[in-house]
Amino acid sequence: MSVSVLSTPRALGGVSGLLQVASLLGLVLLLLKAAQLYLHRQWLLKALQQFPSPPSHWLYGHMQEFQDETELRPLLKRVEKYPSACARWLWGTKALVLIYDPDYMKVVLGRSDPKSHDAYRMLIPWIGKGLLLLEGQTWFQHRRMLTPAFHYDILKPYVGLMADSVRVMLDKWEELVSLDSHLEVLGHVSLMTLDTIMKCAFSHQGSIQTDRWSDQDEEGSPAKGGRAGEGEEQEAPGFPGHPPLRQSECGQERPEWRTPGCLPLDGLSFRDHLDKMPYTTMCIKEALRLYPPVPFIGRYLSKPITFPDGRALPAGVPLSLSFYGLHHNPKVWPNPEVFDPSRFAPGSDRHSHAFLPFSGGSRNCIGKQFAMNEMKVAVALTLLRFELAPNPSRVPVPIPRVVLKSKNGIHLQLRKLL
């Protein structure tokens, strides 16, 4: 009995001692971590001192300034106020440098710095670790293996498949427009694009659009709003505040397309006309300048870098190449918010400052020619069958995600052509 009574206090004393040691060890580790974060913040402050920015909170940085749905507005204010680049604090000890100058971007894209793992690791479960996410020699080998498949001559036969997918989408639009002139087109265009990729890349037979058409009917038609009224504008869609792409101007590309029996709908003749659509190509590029599908690309400096104006950054600093900021930079593009296809007229030197959705350098988009062909086919065939105008009651609200998207969809007014 006496042994049991004496051993209990000793056991409690031993547990208390262990708790004290664990608490002391935890406190030491906490202080070490705090010191590490403090030293890292001081290093960042010194590294970014050449890149001014608005005042930031010591803990949450510029998070209040850059909200998800309004992030593009403060970005454009920074582009106007701070030349070439500026710092952005994500929180107390994490920051990056926003770049929106063409000469700065060419320096970065001419190097082999790895992509920002924080920005791209979320894509691995979705698309796998393919060409987009690979680095180093493995990327180089895969890129060299795939490049011949995207040769211009190899892509030409796919134009007929692209036209087939677009025609299926337009047939669906004709059914919907007969009932209602207001149409949300984002879902339709996305499905048409998927249909094209399935046919061209995987030899899919049939059409995903028709397979899913019955499902969309059950869920409800995306067409909402009033019927087409008299006297609607004879124009193709523009963007809020921008002059629309005029139907008549695009029709002048190939006047014979307006002649019955001469429409290039068989795909074979269409592919021979893709290089004879200069104005349509200019309009597509200007639209991509205003709304780049990939608004940002992350890079992580593996070695120090010096920019053309002498400013420098040490290794270890993350960069964010803001294509949206570059394409709205008033020092590069006069009146950047104005839709002006003449910026990309043949012989113009300013178009070299636009990376569009294809980036630049050694890691430029391998499928850029495929994408341009698909856009030309979709625009040309659509303008042959419809007049389009923006829906003023539902103006698209662009928000940056992995890609640029509209918060509220893309609503248009459609009217069939005779």
Residue 157 confidence (pLDDT): 84
Tokens of 245: 């792409």
pLDDT reading at 229 higher than 60? no
Taking alpha carbons only, the member of 365, 366, 300, 302 closest to residue 115 is 300
Q: Stretch 211-238: mean pLDDT, rounded?
A: 39
Total structural domains within the chain = 1
Q: Per the domain annotation, does 79 fall within a domain? A: yes
Q: Which amino acid is at 320?
A: S
Predicted confidence at residue 245, as pLDDT, reads: 42
If you ran DSSP here, which 8-state letter would residue 63 be given? Answer: T
Q: Is the pLDDT of residue 201 over 70?
A: yes
Q: Is 193 a domain residue?
A: no
Residue 47 reports pLDDT greater than 80: yes
- Angle 153-365-125 (CA atoms, 0-180°, nearest 5)? 120
CA angle, residues 17, 18, 20, in degrees to nearest 5: 65
Q: Is residue 390 within 8 Å of 239, Cβ to Cβ?
A: yes
Reply yes or no on whether the pLDDT at 215 is more than 80.
no
Mean pLDDT, range 306-329, rounded to an integer: 94
pLDDT of residue 349: 65
**Separation CA 222–CA 188 (nearest Å):** 9
Residue 301 has pLDDT above 70, yes or no: yes
CB 113 within 8 A of CB 299: yes
pTM: 0.80
Query: What pLDDT score was predicted for residue 283?
Result: 93
Has residue 261 been placed in a domain?
yes
Please state, in angstroms and rounded to a whole number, the distance separating the CA atoms of residues 412 and 243. 15
Checking if the pLDDT of 302 tops 80, the result is yes
Structure tokens at 376: 């030309």
Least confident of 103-112, 134-143, 225-234, 384-393: 225-234
Eight-state DSSP code of residue 299: E
Q: How far apart are CA 286 and CA 283, in angstroms?
A: 5
Is residue 319 domain-resident? yes
Residue 76 belongs to some domain of the structure: yes
Contacts 24+ apart (CB under 8 A), 190-196: 192/165, 192/166, 192/168, 192/378, 193/374, 195/165, 195/168, 196/161, 196/162, 196/165, 196/374
Residue 28 domain-assigned (yes or no): no
Residue 10: its pLDDT value, please? 63
Percent of the chain with pLDDT over 70: 77
In a domain, 90, yes or no: yes
**Kind and range of the H or E run holding 282:** helix 278-290
User: Is residue 81 assigned to a domain?
Assistant: yes
Assigned token pair, 186? 């984002």
What's the mean pLDDT in 275-303?
A: 90
- Whole-number Å distance between alpha carbons of 237 and 189: 14
Q: Which domain holds residue 285?
A: 53-124+243-344
Structure tokens at 94: 């994490």
Q: What is the mean pLDDT of the chain?
A: 80
Cα–Cα dist 4/411, whole Å: 81
